[in-house]
Chain A
Amino acid sequence: MPEQKPDPDISVRFAGKIFSPNPFWLASAPPTNCGEQVMRAFDAGWGGAVWKTIGDPIVNVSSRYSSVDWNGQRMMGLNNIELITDRPLDLNLREIAEVKKRYPKHAVIASLMVESKREAWHKIVQQSEDAGADGLELNFGCPHGMSERGMGSAVGQVPEYTEMITSWVKEKARTPVLVKLTPNISDIRVVARAAKRGGADGLSAINTINSITGIDLDTFIPRPNVDGKSTHGGYCGPAVKPIALNMVHQVQSDPEAQLPLSGIGGISDWRDAVEFLLLGCSNVQVCTAAMHYGYRIVEDMIDGLTNWMREKGFARISDFQGLTVSRVQEWKHLNLNYKIVARIHEEKCIGCELCYTACWDGAHQCIHMDRVGSNNGQHPTPAMREAASRQSISVTPIPKLDLNASGNGEEPYPTPLARIPQIDESECVGCNLCFLVCPVEGCITMERVDKNLPPQSWEQRTGGAATPGRNCD
């Protein structure tokens, strides 16, 4: 019997201090609104929870959420205009204490937002730590409502404020301090550096993105509708993941900003989580997916991650954490001598011609429908092909009436040859578009065709100039 390897260890210790049995935390949001919820979440398998932001009393509106559906799928993106917790501070603190007592091995992080006064921050830090929080997350990211009162992203958008408040918190805090960054800024690294200068032990990124999700076309009122009006909210969910990954990378690849990072932004399953970990995150936080499907989704996050690590031979998270950071480079460092072209595997083609129309209208006009018939050296345009089809006469096949109909002849592939596109490799620039639109896995592959020239980047070719200059080909 082959030796059974032990299960990979997926526990993490954030910033060297905050232990959680797995890297999956619930982000500060409605799923972590109260102790009862957080305990149920821990029972479902979540490794940690960042409490719904506590601070001074507020009042919320109804309604609060709106979403973007896409192609029949619900909630590709979710938008909210909810503020921080509307429950009394004392109650939240009591519940934090109770949760920590009953779940000592799970991470409970207090998310904080108070007015920009040193005493106010000192006080809430003290209260949170007294309640037993394992760490503090400073909410400098919330983009709606609170920002109008000088809190949330109003702080996170100004590096000086971020640094100042972080340093106030650090004067008092005994537990690790995470600064949650807003993406609503032109360069997230500037604020990340400020947080680091202020003494932050870690960062969380990203918070939600300013958004208006949509407008009711009958009433002209944007969503979510609050008595005929709306306001910009914070956008999250699967739609924002690529934006989050880029910002995570920006922070992780900047020595002045780099800190232990809790990755946030559209994480819906274990694969999304692995991507954030590969870009250097120490753990991840999830909200929209749990709001959509409930706490139970964490089961497959743990299961999928564990299976993937076993398959790849990783014993612990740190074995692959950050592996991809150096693989993202500035454009000028990419190899100009790398050349790929599209290849169509005829036996898999189903004849949808999506690659054809995409290449003609969206790329470089190098996919042609000319396997059958002569074209006199001219490739028929999409319009010519459509017109020919409209002119053709089709009838319902009725065996009795079609006895003398000619057969289809020999067709080498399941799809008629006339519907299988052909790539002009000499014109193909290797852009990937056809491969992206093809609905069939493995039907179009991108194949390397360069002559193994030594790699040469733009920077190497031009010495860093903006244009190729005279000596370049």
Chain B
Amino acid sequence: MSTANPREANAELVARFPEIHPPFDKVSAVTEANRCLYCFDAPCTAACPTHIDVPRFIKKIAQGNLRGSALTILDANILGASCSRVCPVDVLCEGACVYHRYNKQPIEIGRLQRHAMDAFYSNGASLPAKSGEKRNGRVACIGAGPASLSFAAELRQCGYSITVFEGKPLPGGLNTYGVAEYKLRSSDSLHEIELIRTLGVEFHFGNAISSEPSLASLEKEFDFIFLGIGLGAMRTLDIPGGNHPGVMDALKFIEGYKIGGNLEVGRRVAVVGAGNTAIDAARAAVRLGAEEVQILYRRGEKNMSAFLFEYEHATQEGVRFEWWTRPVAICEAPDRSKVEGIECIRVRADSCGVLSDIPGSEYKIPCDMVIPAIGQTPLLEFLQSCRGVKIDDGRVVVDRATGQTSNPKYFAGGDCVNGGREVVDAVADGKRTALAVAKLLEKAHA
């Protein structure tokens, strides 16, 4: 396998993962932009967690002011380019479009946003200085995912010094490592983050803050610390054989093909779980050449956490769904060299939704690769070591308006706070928190 340069699009990946929402050409973009009603206090803007002024940026596209359009987007959402590709627009801006109530197609806001952002990045990607002032005040971010990036960009633009510490070798978190390639290419994510670096945000890679002393030294050096640490590793399949090398969790699998240059996949693949990441993994397996891909879920279609449009796309691509089934063991070859299948049992739910096995319904699904995609576990241990940062139900507890944790020196946003939502939610958390921190810094260094 080639060792791909993640900063450049990989030709084989591009061929296997054509974009699901190809870009508009100029004429189509203007035509689509002209359909926008230019609602006042628009529902699409309200539905966007970062409150991008959607009608404003669309109007600017219609009127040939692409730079103004891009800056309108970036002003609200510094990751406007990746959000335009990965946002579940059906349940956000486009889902809120008033055209749904008028028997018309909603405006293709995501693709229009991408149109403006593509123009911005292909024209040098220069942001106007928000403030020339350099202010006293230093803040650290732990993790270089969307929440930290948004937080860092906003605060940096207010004039403060920001240092981001990331354990992995590349920035971007799931944007770089975990989003299905047909939605967002790693190279595009990294391109976008370059903009934030040029603002003057400092990055330290391979530097996971994971010990009490490292935290203590951060506390000493920085005024405030932002936790943008995401959810951590995925849950493992806690069944016999669950640690066999033929069992690879969905995020590792996705990272492997996106960044690691590993385009190998089993012939028959079973994905466990029915969330959006499970679907990303299943569709990737199809594109990488698996002949048979199944998704196993212990509940029914109505209970899956994947968005409906993700489910529909997956079925269109040939992914089969096995509902009401629970894996009980991984079947290995006698010499343990490979996975041969997955042992399952049928389950049912009682009126309260409590699941129970159906005795005698055991069956085996032949497969040579198992991809568990059963949610990520929060980095509990680490968070508990942060003195006084309150955790509830595996999430960092914050004041919603400011992002401040129960320890006033610590702020947090993104998946570690919201339990695992979308990139745009992380960006919104980061920005909101940055504005609150900026106020505190101003006071502290007045």
Interface check A468, CB cutoff 8 A? no
| Inter-chain contact B422/A382, CB cutoff 8 Å | no
| Inter-chain contact A71/B34, CB cutoff 8 Å | yes
The interface residues of chain A lying within 8 Å CB-to-CB of B425 are 395-396
The distance from the CB of A388 to the nearest CB of chain B, in whole angstroms, is 9
- Chain B residue nearest to A73 (CB atoms) is B34
| Inter-chain contact B49/A352, CB cutoff 8 Å | no
Interface check A356, CB cutoff 8 A? yes
The interface residues of chain A lying within 8 Å CB-to-CB of B401 are 393
The interface residues of chain B lying within 8 Å CB-to-CB of A386 are 41
Interface check B358, CB cutoff 8 A? no
CA distance A353 to B37 in the complex (A): 10
CA distance A409 to B400 in the complex (A): 23
Interface check B438, CB cutoff 8 A? no
| Inter-chain contact B41/A396, CB cutoff 8 Å | no
- Chain B residue nearest to A387 (CB atoms) is B41
* The one of A72, A385, A398, A440 that contacts B31, using a Cβ cutoff of 8 Å: A72
- Using known A-B contacts A350-B102, A401-B419, A439-B102, determine if residue A356 contacts B40 with beta carbons closer than 8 Å: yes
| Inter-chain contact A393/B31, CB cutoff 8 Å | no
The distance from the CB of A177 to the nearest CB of chain B, in whole angstroms, is 46
**What is the interface size of chain A, counting residues whose CB is below 8 A from a CB of the partner?**
30
The interface residues of chain A lying within 8 Å CB-to-CB of B62 are 71-72
CA distance A351 to B418 in the complex (A): 30
- Using known A-B contacts A352-B39, A353-B41, determine if residue A396 contacts B98 with beta carbons closer than 8 Å: no
- Using known A-B contacts A397-B91, A398-B421, determine if residue A353 contacts B101 with beta carbons closer than 8 Å: no
* The one of B40, B51, B420 that contacts A354, using a Cβ cutoff of 8 Å: B40
| Inter-chain contact B40/A353, CB cutoff 8 Å | yes
- Chain B residue nearest to A394 (CB atoms) is B49
- Using known A-B contacts A352-B98, A419-B43, A440-B102, determine if residue A395 contacts B418 with beta carbons closer than 8 Å: yes
| Inter-chain contact A389/B98, CB cutoff 8 Å | no
Q: Mark B51-77, 1 if CB is under 8 A from A, else 0.
A: 100000000001000000000000000
- Chain B residue nearest to A398 (CB atoms) is B421
| Inter-chain contact A382/B40, CB cutoff 8 Å | yes
The interface residues of chain A lying within 8 Å CB-to-CB of B37 are 352, 354, 439
Chain B CB within 10 Å, residue with most, of A352, A353, A399, A414: A352
Interface check B205, CB cutoff 8 A? no
Chain A 340-379 residues near chain B, CB threshold 8 A:
350-354, 356-357, 369
| Inter-chain contact B101/A401, CB cutoff 8 Å | no
Interface check B38, CB cutoff 8 A? yes
Interface check A415, CB cutoff 8 A? yes
Q: Mark B211-224, 1 if CB is under 8 A from A, else 0.
A: 00000000000000
CA distance A353 to B43 in the complex (A): 10
Chain A CB within 10 Å, residue with most, of B43, B92, B275: B43
The interface residues of chain B lying within 8 Å CB-to-CB of A414 are 101
CA distance A357 to B428 in the complex (A): 27
The interface residues of chain B lying within 8 Å CB-to-CB of A354 are 37-40
Interface check A392, CB cutoff 8 A? yes
| Inter-chain contact B30/A72, CB cutoff 8 Å | yes
Interface check A5, CB cutoff 8 A? no
CA distance A414 to B401 in the complex (A): 31
Interface check A102, CB cutoff 8 A? no
Interface check A451, CB cutoff 8 A? no
Interface check A390, CB cutoff 8 A? yes
- Chain B residue nearest to A413 (CB atoms) is B101
| Inter-chain contact A351/B101, CB cutoff 8 Å | yes
| Inter-chain contact A394/B46, CB cutoff 8 Å | yes
Interface check B45, CB cutoff 8 A? yes
Q: Mark B5-16, 1 if CB is under 8 A from A, else 0.
A: 000000000000
| Inter-chain contact A357/B91, CB cutoff 8 Å | no
Chain A 394-425 residues near chain B, CB threshold 8 A:
394-401, 414-415, 419
| Inter-chain contact A396/B101, CB cutoff 8 Å | no
CA distance A369 to B275 in the complex (A): 39
CA distance A394 to B305 in the complex (A): 19
CA distance A382 to B40 in the complex (A): 9
- Chain B residue nearest to A386 (CB atoms) is B41
The interface residues of chain A lying within 8 Å CB-to-CB of B275 are 400
The interface residues of chain A lying within 8 Å CB-to-CB of B284 are none
Chain B CB within 10 Å, residue with most, of A369, A396, A419: A396
CA distance A393 to B398 in the complex (A): 14
Chain A 31-65 residues near chain B, CB threshold 8 A:
none
| Inter-chain contact A382/B420, CB cutoff 8 Å | no
| Inter-chain contact B424/A396, CB cutoff 8 Å | yes
| Inter-chain contact B45/A395, CB cutoff 8 Å | no
- Using known A-B contacts A350-B98, A415-B101, determine if residue A382 contacts B41 with beta carbons closer than 8 Å: yes
The distance from the CB of B37 to the nearest CB of chain A, in whole angstroms, is 5
| Inter-chain contact B101/A393, CB cutoff 8 Å | no
The distance from the CB of A285 to the nearest CB of chain B, in whole angstroms, is 31
- Chain A residue nearest to B98 (CB atoms) is A350
- Chain A residue nearest to B48 (CB atoms) is A394
CA distance A136 to B45 in the complex (A): 61
The interface residues of chain A lying within 8 Å CB-to-CB of B42 are 352
The interface residues of chain B lying within 8 Å CB-to-CB of A351 are 39, 43, 98, 101
- Chain B residue nearest to A440 (CB atoms) is B102
| Inter-chain contact B421/A353, CB cutoff 8 Å | no
Interface check B209, CB cutoff 8 A? no
| Inter-chain contact A389/B51, CB cutoff 8 Å | yes
The interface residues of chain B lying within 8 Å CB-to-CB of A396 are 49, 88, 91-92, 421-422, 424-425
The interface residues of chain A lying within 8 Å CB-to-CB of B420 are 398, 401
The distance from the CB of B394 to the nearest CB of chain A, in whole angstroms, is 12
| Inter-chain contact A401/B51, CB cutoff 8 Å | no
The interface residues of chain A lying within 8 Å CB-to-CB of B419 are 401
- Using known A-B contacts A72-B30, A72-B31, determine if residue A389 contacts B41 with beta carbons closer than 8 Å: yes
The distance from the CB of A132 to the nearest CB of chain B, in whole angstroms, is 47
CA distance A385 to B46 in the complex (A): 11
The interface residues of chain B lying within 8 Å CB-to-CB of A415 are 98, 101
Interface check B391, CB cutoff 8 A? no
CA distance A439 to B39 in the complex (A): 10
Chain B 1-41 residues near chain A, CB threshold 8 A:
30-31, 34, 37-41
The distance from the CB of B246 to the nearest CB of chain A, in whole angstroms, is 28
The distance from the CB of B382 to the nearest CB of chain A, in whole angstroms, is 22
The interface residues of chain B lying within 8 Å CB-to-CB of A71 are 34, 62
The interface residues of chain B lying within 8 Å CB-to-CB of A439 are 37, 102
The distance from the CB of A391 to the nearest CB of chain B, in whole angstroms, is 9
- Using known A-B contacts A401-B419, A414-B101, determine if residue A395 contacts B49 with beta carbons closer than 8 Å: yes
The interface residues of chain A lying within 8 Å CB-to-CB of B48 are 394
Interface check B47, CB cutoff 8 A? yes
- Chain B residue nearest to A421 (CB atoms) is B40
6 contacts between A and B (CB under 8 A): A353-B39, A389-B45, A389-B46, A393-B401, A401-B419, A414-B101
Q: Apart from A71-B34, A350-B99, A415-B101, list 12 A-B contacts with CB within 8 A.
A: A350-B102, A351-B43, A352-B98, A357-B40, A382-B41, A392-B51, A393-B432, A394-B49, A396-B421, A396-B422, A396-B424, A401-B418
| A-B pairs, 7 with minimum CB distance | A72-B34, A353-B40, A357-B40, A400-B305, A350-B98, A352-B39, A350-B101
Q: Give the B-binding residues of A (Cβ under 8 A).
A: 71-72, 350-354, 356-357, 369, 382, 385-386, 389-390, 392-401, 414-415, 419, 439-440
